[in-house]
Amino acid sequence: MASQKISSFLSRTLASSSIRSLSQHGRTSHCRRVVSRYSTAAATEDPITPPVSVKYTQLLIDGKFVDSASGKKFKTYDPRTGNVIAEVAEGDAEDINRAVAAARKAFDEGPWPKMTAYERSKILFKFADLLEQHTDEIAALETWDNGKPYEQAAKAELPMCVRLMRYYAGWADKIHGLTVPADGPYHMQTLHEPIGVAGQIIPWNFPILMFVWKVAPALACGNTIVLKSAEQTPLTAIYAAKLLQEAGLPDGVINVVSGYGPTAGGALASHMDVDKLAFTGSTVTGKLVLEMASKSNLKPVTLELGGKSPFIVCKDADIDKAVELAHFALFFNQGQCCCAGSRTYVHESVYDEFVEKAKARAMKRVVGDPFQKDIEQGPQIDSEQFEKVMQYIRSGIESGAKLETGGEKLGSKGYYIQPTVFSNVNEDMLIAQDEIFGPVQSILHFKDIQEVARRANNTHYGLAAGVFTQDIDTANYLARALKVGTVWVNCYDVFDAAIPFGGYKMSGQGREKGIYCLMNYLQVKSVVTPLKDPAWL
């Protein structure tokens, strides 16, 4: 795909009557039992057996699957039921030390940074092919471990992973410096060199996508990697790393350590022999990571953090389209999205109409077993996140916001929450201030675009924003006035390999994807050589 548009995912996939032949995996027999509107008594009482087995649960260090040094394991759970999927090796500081040593040796002595860029690109292209070939297995693992709809993983996220990998594979042999004219008889050039050992920490909401977002540019630039996966979702990172080995990546170039943030993550962030750190996760944890990096060897850090993104519906908007887009902007991925449009600002002249239609759309949302075809919403990731979202819902009710619909647990198993819509929300309410990371839409009203721009910017976050208007002047004004890293105009959640993504303010520093991301993994060296009797300068 030339452009990966997640915002068009539902309309594309739900219109199809044969999504990746789901019946081949034994899903069809459960169709009528598990699909349910949010308002029914049960979301799914008879979970579908996942069409995949767990093959890899160890750490990957220096090209080999190994147990943790301590021998410890932790459990990863199925969010549909709370049942254990598998026990995974639990890495800690000693395992991080082993992984960093392997990555250092692979960088300093191994073939990877010494290969021609073209040879590296061929391995990355082969990995992209393997990702594409194993889409079904990876998507099934992702759904099982994370709870996101299988169709979303298989039809939107895995194709995006493949496209991004090919994008950076294509960049590998196009990274070069400059020849710079100097004031005098000197030849001056710049070299763009790999930075060395890259430490990477990825989150649980988009495990395989974040894996590729991190490793693709780092490998294209010739670096080696130690990656810590989220303890909630370790399975797809291990699987993908195995495919990288099959693609021909030399031993030690990528090392994957599953483990907890305070132990494995903390050891990686503070390690003296890690040259660069990339982190995606909450703003609170991002601050800790940055502090640990600065107190160790002052390694450069890129951060992709939280958000409380405004979605602005102007008075001239097509209300039906705006309702659908705002619904998707918030509820996509169970609301577990850093750039979710979680503050829906609607012009006062169309506010009442919008609220009624937003409520009706939420009540039609199809919630159930994410392995089921045509499911829009699965469970939250785990009990902790479930309880956090429910606390915010109670807070909204107690603070005086009007609960239009939802607000309760769905079913007796797993971590399903009814799609929830609040109206009459004020900025001083927690549901309008904090990143809820769940299926809770807060609708506010405004009078004019200057006012809404000021209110939208009145937050510590600055990751993204949506603007829905038919007026080009309004769109241009808000696109420049909003202090965010991405502004989507009359669309939302449009991601492409070439589009940089990142935040202003406390939503992070640096950019993921696109050409801008390459500089996160490169150093610039100036080389100056005298010229003897030059023919020209």
- DSSP per-residue letters across 447-483: S-HHHHHHHHH-SS--SEEEEE-S-HHHHHHHHHHS-
Query: Residues with catalytic annotation?
Result: 304
| Calpha distance 13→158 (Å, rounded) | 14
Closest Cα partner for 352 from 308, 402, 417? 402
Pairing label, strands 36-37, 366-367: antiparallel
HSE, side-chain direction, 13 A CA sphere, residue 434: 15
Question: What phi and psi values does residue 520 have, to the nearest 5 degrees?
Answer: -65, -25
Pairing label, strands 276-280, 197-201: parallel
Closest Cα partner for 332 from 1, 2, 3, 5? 5
Return the beta strands (E) in 384-439 as ranges. 402-405, 420-423
Can you list the pairs that 472-477 forms with residues at least 24 positions away whose Cβ atoms lie under 8 Å?
474/314, 474/316, 474/449, 477/449, 477/453
Residues 6+ apart with CB under 8 A from 389: 335, 380, 417, 436, 437, 438, 439, 440
* Helical residues (DSSP H) of 134-256, grouped into ranges: 135-146, 150-152, 158-171, 207-220, 235-246
